[in-house]
Amino acid sequence: MNEQQKTELEAAAFRRLVDHLDSNKQVQNIELMLLADFCRNCLSKWYLAAAEDRGIDLSDAQAKEAVYKMPYSEWKANHQLPATDEQMTAFNAKSAAKKRK
């Protein structure tokens, strides 16, 4: 496999991940963070960082829209539920454990 093919496969996998997340809006970001240690916001930050590394002008809002497939404010209003006390306790414990490492 050459570098172009590798890049095309990576891009296709990224698009499939974004489509999968879009098809599963019921999965909350806090749940993703607890289970996989990343969420849609993380993915949008990585997308933005990749653009910055390449000198591509992209805003945070544009990066989020690429991942959420709609403006973040719209996604948040229509799909994001408040985190439960249990989720926040687990998230804070996980964050504290990472800081101790």
Instruction: Give residue-wise pLDDT tens across range 29-73.
Output: 999 999 999 999 999 999 999 999 999 999 999 999 999 999 999
Q: Any idea what the CATH number is for the domain that residue 61 is in?
A: 1.10.3340.10
Q: Is the dihedral of CA 84, 90, 93, 99 positive or negative?
A: negative
pLDDT level of residue 97 (50, 70, 90 thresholds): confident
In a domain, 65, yes or no: yes
| Confidence (pTM) | 0.89
In a domain, 99, yes or no: no
Contact at 8 Å (CB) between 17 and 66?
no
Q: What is the residue type of 45?
A: K
In a domain, 101, yes or no: no
The per-residue b/e assignment along 73-90, b for 16 or more CB within 10 angstroms, e otherwise, is: eebeeeeeeebeeebeeb
